[in-house]
Amino acid sequence: MQSDVQPKPGLIYLSGLLHNFGYLLLSHLFPAQFSTLSRYIEANPHLSYTLVEQQVLRLTREQVGAWLLENWSLPEPVCVAVRRQNEPGYTGKFAEYPQLISVASRILRELGYCDGPVEPVSASDLVRVGLTPELKEMAVEAFLNSQEQLQELTRLFAHSEAE
């Protein structure tokens, strides 16, 4: 991090866990529009999902998610991370949180695990969040090596929903 303040690991974890919470809210609050939105996102993988959401709904998952998290009085860094995760130029208060979420999402897109256009993560992007290309590769390798455990976790959730 370029900032003297190090982000708190627990808040980073919570930010990552909740970063896409607004998408679930959109599906629950606007089921008919969500169906249309899903088709548009799928049909336009070259476009940012944020752009598609603004065109279809006039708001984004980040806005909806942040509104709810703020209403629940979650810590400000988490709310900022959720709201600003797709604003690479954001330099305001707690900027290190959305920057980390943005880098993680872009890495997952490079691997094919997230919707949206692939935007490679540069060495300067990594440095801005306190990482190196070597650390990125180690994290990607650890993620890819944990696929079996992640699939088992998914099966457990699917099984518990069926009951």
Angle at 37 between CA 35 and CA 40, to 5 degrees: 115
Tell me: the pLDDT tens digits for 103-149? 999 999 999 888 778 888 999 889 988 899 999 999 999 999 998 88
> How many other CB atoms are found less than 10 A from the CB of residue 136?
19
Q: For the whole model, what pTM was predicted? A: 0.84
Tell me the C-alpha distance between 63 and 53, whole Å.
Answer: 11
141, two tokens: 């390798």
HSE, CB side, 13 Å, CA atoms: give it for residue 68.
Answer: 16
- Residue 95's Cβ-side half-sphere holds a number of Cα atoms within 13 Å equal to 14
Torsional sign, CA 146, 157, 62, 35 = positive
Q: Count Cβ atoms within 10 A of the Cβ of residue 107 and give its class: 0-12 exposed, 13-18 middle, 19 or more buried.
A: buried
Task: Tell me the C-alpha to C-alpha distance, in Å, between residue 115 and each of 28, 42, 72.
Answer: 19, 8, 27
Task: Provide the residue-wise pLDDT of the chain in tens; the chain has 163 residues.
Answer: 445 568 899 999 999 999 999 999 999 988 999 999 999 999 998 888 999 999 999 999 999 999 999 999 999 999 999 999 998 788 899 999 999 999 999 999 999 888 778 888 999 889 988 899 999 999 999 999 998 888 888 888 877 666 6
CATH architecture of 9-120: Orthogonal Bundle (1.10)
